[in-house]
Structure 1
Amino acid sequence: MGTAQVPVKSVTAIPLKQGWDEGAFTSELLNKSIVPRAISAADTDKKITPPKDVGKPPPIQAGTYQGTKLALTQMMKRIETRFESFFDVAGFETSVPLALAVDPKSLYTFQKPGSDNYPPHLDIIPKVDQVNLLKIFDFMRLLDTGTLVGTLLPDTILDFIHDHPEGFTVDSIEARNNELHKNKEDIFDEENIGNRPDWWTDAVFAQQQFVGTNPTTIEQASSEWLKDFTDAAQSNTEIQNLLSTGNPKSFYVQDCSYFRTAIGADQQADMISNDGMRRLCASVTLFQLTDAGALHPLAIAVDYKGSLANSVVIFNKRSSPSSPESKDDWPWRYAKTCAQTSDWLRHEVTVHLINTHLVEEVTIVAAHRAFSTDHPVYRLLQPHWLKTLSVNAAARATLVPNIIVKIVGITDPQLYAFLRDGYKRFDWTAKYVPNDLASRGFPPEELASNPKFHNYAYARNMILMWQTLRKFVSSVLAIDIHSDEQVEKDEQIASWIKEMQDDNGGQMKSFPEIKTFEDLVDAVTMCIHIASPQHTAINYLQSYYQSFVISKPSALFSPLPKSLDDLKTYEEEDLLAAYPIKHAREWLLASHVPYLLSYRVAEEQNMLNFALSTAKLASLNNQTQLAAAAAQLYADLMQLAEVFKMNSKDMDDKNKSYDVMDPSATAVSILL
């Protein structure tokens, strides 16, 4: 061994492929006094969000882009682990099954309505054994743990990795993204949408409505929307004729016009963040779905303000998907960016957080309160609750107040109003997959055979998954429940309904009055659908579609155009101004949140392994009917895997396969 000194820079330049060493990271946190404050939950009436400033360590003054991302990843994992530990000790999600010494109704209680910013959820410090639980909660300093994420965000990012020495252009951002992936730098070890050269095109924009992070809200355009867009197209003869003479059932919309109502803002008010830097728009996008199955954007209201007449509406210069496309049509590209920004909020807060995480939490708490552990409904649902309650508590304490609020284009109170509004809009039975698809203009019976729908792989897959899960649920419930009368007289089922609907419980008035066996099968299937395939479909593609920030920003960073004439003057520099290119902290968070939420599903936590495990254990216990039902589920899922591959191959887009719903990648519960 030589004695020559190794240059420090030659070592520190080596990327940390596996993240920070845990011990070294802990030492650095202690060195910088980044520790949770000793705040008692009793002092905040057990609210999970603490006072913001008192005694809080100041943010790090400066840090590197890569180092900050690695630190955030490490801290988020530790926070989730911390909450898991508390939920284990408290008895909510025990690592070893325990015979509860208390009535589940005393342990699993709903937070007092209106006591915090969120829709109904578990009270994590219930009255039962409250003194001891409060001591544990305070000892673990859970109240302030989530705020450490904010402390790790430096005031200055020293080496914004998307900087370009000759100044920003859209092409330079794209090139830098490709360079980072080529070199496997930072977290760029998996592809994202920016790696495909056509990411900006109408076809890829449209494709995301069917197989992107939010394939759940595109719906057939109402006659009112068609009339309004036709009226708005008076000066565009080609589009007007298309709208007037085309098949009304061929037009679809992504409708975010309700945003201002949801946040309690005036219809003419600008939507803007606390610090005035970020803006939100309420876009409405009109598409045509051709008989050949090509979805094509025709028009975008960049920010709906009460009516299309009062909004800036731009029409695509390309009336059909076969028309030539210009990369330099900056007004249209800006409008598509607005649509993507609107969908970012709708997807992340409503489709993802509310419609899966928080709705599922309510069903879990209500079920614990209503059912004994030997009830067939409880036994069916329990495997699909793994980690969900602790993950949700961590999200309420960390993700929303310390990350999401910092990257969206509305104020904190407006974001929480949007959350609560999304929960109120959730319609339980309308969201049953067959009902949902039919109501949005995608007849379930035509999805497999009509060429018009061959690109909508999410819908084609999900209707089959629903039918498969429903078949399994029906078979298992039929072991113990043999008639509609038995369902109607079941006091525990009646209690579940009450817990879901009650003003002091789930507050979900759309939860059905379960009177028949088929009603029960649907309701239980819905619980599993939300926890497993639905959450998987809308969660695990986030890193691919959203980590390339300019494809789908979380907010706009410049004022929106006031008129169509203004928008028509837009050039590349105007589009660039809307991106967070001068806001490294916001860019970092917007690109990293999808990564944090998109870890691959562990092999032992997927639906295939659940079915196989259930079949084997039931067989060992001589539960022949359950073993048969689970074995059939396994066989059906294996068959679905092949069908899903074919559905992906059927799509026109050959660049990105749609494999997120493969049963081997479908999480058994909401794990992230």
Structure 2
Amino acid sequence: MKLTGLADCVQPWTDFDCLHRVFNWCKNDASKYVYEHWREDAFFGSQYLSGLNPILIRRCTALPQHFPVTDEMVHLDLNGEMEKGNMFLCDYKLLDGVKTNVINGEHQYLTAPLVLLHKTPMDELKPVAIQLKQKPAEDNPIFLPSDREYDWLLAKTFVRSADFHDHELNVHLLRTHLLAEVFGVALLRNIPRVHPLYKLLIPHTRYTFAINTLARKQLISEDGVLTKYAAAGGEGMITILERALSSLTYRSLCLPEDIKDRGVESVPKYYYRDDGLRLWDIIHRFVSGILTNYYKSDSDVQKDSELQNFIKNVFENGFLSRKESGIPQSFSAVDELVKFVTMVIFTSSAQHSAVNNGQLDIGNWMPNFPPTLQRAPPTVKGRANENVFLQTLPDVNATVNILAILWLLSKQSTDFVYDFYFYHVPLGRYPEELFCEEVPHDLIKKFQEELKELGAAIGKRNANLDLPYTYLDPQLMENSVGI
């Protein structure tokens, strides 16, 4: 990374110029856009739609009692705007009370903010109120765009640090890497190689066990990078994962239902939703074609003991037998099987791509995605300035070590140089050709054609965007969680 010496530097950033020199080493068009616009409210809001964490935002139909925003504060008729569907809420309650880290001998800080956003007449999504802690109090003010520049910027930065943790531990690690491992282990334990489900799913497990083993060793172990340099490293990290798993639902893993449940069907410029729903439909048609070729009736599914053992293993060991999760305990119909397998493939390919591939784009300019903050969140307004802001940011070594991980995780596989069978495999490409019948071959060809058409449509749209959304382009995503 050509950052020799900085990885061990325990000094704070003294000015933005020094930080910018580190940023410059791997700047691309997307990260340059982030650097140029990170202070802007419209860009802050847009990251909930097309950034690394596009599954948190939900329509606000009534303000939570512990978030006492008034019309006078935001200069809006809140009830009227909520009725029109123009108000949205992002709630980081998952992080509330989490024990935080000590880095370079200094106590670190992590908040559990509430963020109220408004869709403007110009179809921009802008934050209008931020409360950094869950419980309202005199020392927990509601920050507003009308506040002084650094009061408002500091509040948004604490939100972005909270988003780092919700993204990396919940949205990224748990909901893609660890779930993909659950599905892969259950597949290998219960489904023989000649089974059509094995042939359909095994390409979507490629490298998953290996990359997760490395993640356990290098990221979340006692000496892991996240453990050492993130605000919630160590005990706090486990708390977040436990809470996230306890609230995980099947509906939230199925994109059409998740979009509906969050009430975000009509939010403009929500490219994650637009591309994701089209991709979900393409995968669903492909999976339906393959499985209905082998399962002619619901009774065929019910009688398949290997298939039933597979889903039982997922429910018991992956979701800890939590009935409230909604995960099937058995399959009684072909449609149920098709939906579940669609979710598995979508999670292992598209969802991972959406929350993984842009990490360097979004996080290269660290103030937009800080892994930790080392001054307490502000309890009063009017005291923040540039110096306070810089002192709040993580030290140089924390910045650089996390940046190295974001760089690594954003890279595509490059081992094609060494072995023909192990190279970057885009979604829908199956070089091993496990199916030998004509019908699956035809379905795979049709699947590839539809993915290509979607990629072309995404490219055409992106040509007119200042910041293209590429993370759900099928040609740029892998078949599996492989990095």
Give the TM-score of the pair, scaled to structure 1: 0.65
> Once the two structures are aligned, what percentage of the paired residues are identical?
22
Residue 315 of structure 1, aligned match among 144, 147, 150: 144
What is the distance in 1 between the residues matched to 2:337 and 2:137? 43
1:350 aligned partner, one-letter code: N
CA drift at 1:429: 3.2
State how 1:235-384 maps to structure 2 within 5 Å: 237=72, 239=74, 241-248=76-83, 249-260=85-96, 263=98, 271-273=100-102, 275-290=105-120, 292-304=122-134, 306-307=135-136, 311-317=140-146, 329-384=149-204
Q: What displacement does 1:500 show?
A: 1.4
Secondary structure at 2:472's aligned position in 1?
A: coil
Query: Counterpart of 2:58?
Result: 219
The offset of 1:240, in angstroms, is 5.6
Partners of 2:290 and 2:21 lie apart in 1 by: 53
Over residues 302-350 of structure 1, what are the superposed CA-to-partner deviations in whole Å (9 max), with x where a residue is unaligned? 232x3477733112229xxxxxxxxx71111111101100000000010
* CA offset digits 1:569-601 (Å, max 9, x no partner): 322222112112xx2211111222210110035
Aligned partners of 1:193 and 1:545 also within 8 Å = no
5+ residue gaps, structure 1, are 1-18, 20-64, 70-152, 266-270, 319-327, 447-451
Q: SS state of the match for residue 575, structure 1?
A: helix
- Quote how far apart the aligned CAs of 1:238 are: 5.8
Task: Find runs of 4+ consecutive structure 1 residues off by over 6 angstroms.
Answer: none
What residue is the counterpart of 1:232 in the other structure?
69
**Cα distance between partner residues in 1 of 2:167 and 2:156:** 16
Aligned CA distance change for structure 1 residues 508 and 539 (closer, same or farther; 3 Å): farther
Aligned residue for 2:55, secondary structure, equals: coil
Count of aligned residue pairs for this structure pair: 468
What is the rounded CA distance, in whole Å, between the counterparts of 1:646 and 1:188 in structure 2? 24
Equivalent residue for 1:66? 3
SS of the aligned residue for 2:128 comes to strand
Kept in 2: contact 1:352–1:535 (CA 8 A):
yes
State yes or no: 1:591 paired with 2:430.
Answer: no
1:173: Cα distance to partner?
A: 4.9
Which structure 2 residues correspond to residues 629-668 of structure 1 after superposition, within 5 A? 629-649=443-463, 654-668=465-479
Residue 538 of structure 1: aligned partner: 355
Structure 1 residue identity aligned to 2:220 = V
Residues 1:312 and 1:173: Cα distance change in structure 2 (over 3 Å): farther
CA distance in 1, matches of 2:115, 2:146: 15
2:115 is paired with a residue of what secondary structure? Answer: strand
Q: Residue 309 and residue 649 in structure 1: after superposition, are their counterparts in 2 closer, same or farther (change >3 A)?
A: farther
Which of the numbers 497, 501, 516 marks the counterpart of 2:333? 516
Q: Which secondary structure does the structure 1 equivalent of 2:116 belong to?
A: strand
What do residues 610-655 of structure 1 show as CA deviations (whole Å, max 9, x unaligned)? 16x47x775xx4x2101110011011001101222244356xxx43
Structure 1 segment 134-283 matched on structure 2, within 5 A? 154=8, 156=9, 167-168=14-15, 170=16, 172-173=17-18, 175-176=20-21, 181=24, 185=25, 187-188=26-27, 192-193=31-32, 196-225=35-64, 229=67, 231-233=68-70, 237=72, 239=74, 241-248=76-83, 249-260=85-96, 263=98, 271-273=100-102, 275-283=105-113
Counterpart amino acid of residue 441 in structure 1: G
Instruction: Compute the RMSD of aligned alpha carbons.
Output: 2.7
Q: 1:360 to 1:627 in 2, by over 3 A?
A: same
Partner of 1:51: none
Q: Tell me the SS of whatever aligns to 1:298.
A: strand
| Equivalence for 2:385 | 571
**Would the aligned equivalents of 2:301 and 2:333 in 1 still touch at CA under 8 Å?**
yes
Q: Which amino acid aligns with 1:255?
A: D
What is aligned with 2:420?
Answer: none
Which structure carries more relative contact order (alpha carbon 8 Å, separation 6+)? 2
Change (3 A) 1:241 1:544: closer
> Once the two structures are superposed, what CA deviation does each residue of 1:153-198 show, in whole Å capped at 9, x if it has no partner?
64x47xx8x96xxx52x4x356535xx63xxx4x456762466422
- Which sits farther off after the overlay, 380-389 or 425-434? 425-434
Cα–Cα, structure 1 residues 514 and 309, in superposed 2: closer, same or farther, change >3 Å? farther
Q: Which residue of 2 aligns with 1:80?
A: none
Deviations 1:406-452 (A, max 9, x none): 12223511211212222222212332010011111123xx5xxxxx4
Q: Residue 263 of structure 2 aligns to a residue in which SS?
A: coil
Partner Cα separation in structure 2 for residue 584 and residue 241 of structure 1: 41
Offset at 1:218?
1.0
Which residue of the partner structure matches residue 285 of structure 2? 471
Mapped to 1, the partners of 2:365 and 2:445 lie a distance apart of 41
Change in 2 beyond 3 A, CA 1:68/1:576: closer
C-alpha distance in 2, partners of 1:222/1:342?
A: 23
In the TM superposition, what whole-angstrom CA distance separates every residue of 1:225-283 from its partner, at most 9, and x where no partner exists? Answer: 3x654x433xx62626431332332211111023226x4x6xxxxx4547443211111
Matched position secondary structure for 2:143? strand
Structure 1 residue 379, shift from structure 2 partner: 1.2
Name the counterpart of 2:297. 483
- The correspondence of residues 45-84 of structure 1 with structure 2, limited to 5 A, is 66-67=3-4
Q: CA deviation at 1:495?
A: 0.7
- Give the one of 409, 427, 439 matched to 2:231: 409
Flag the structure with larger Rg: 1
Matched residues in 1 for 2:120 and 2:463: separation? 19
Rate the CA distance shift 1:413–1:175 in 2: closer, same or farther, 3 A: closer
* Gapped regions of structure 2 (runs ≥ 5): 417-422
Q: Which residue of 1 aligns with 2:366?
A: 549
Q: Would the alpha carbon gap of residues 586 and 655 (structure 1) be closer, same or farther in structure 2, given more than 3 Å must change?
A: same
Structure 2 counterpart SS, 1:299: strand
Q: 1:624 to 1:310 in 2, by over 3 A?
A: farther
- CA-CA distance at 1:508 after TM superposition: 5.1
Aligned counterpart, 1:385: 205
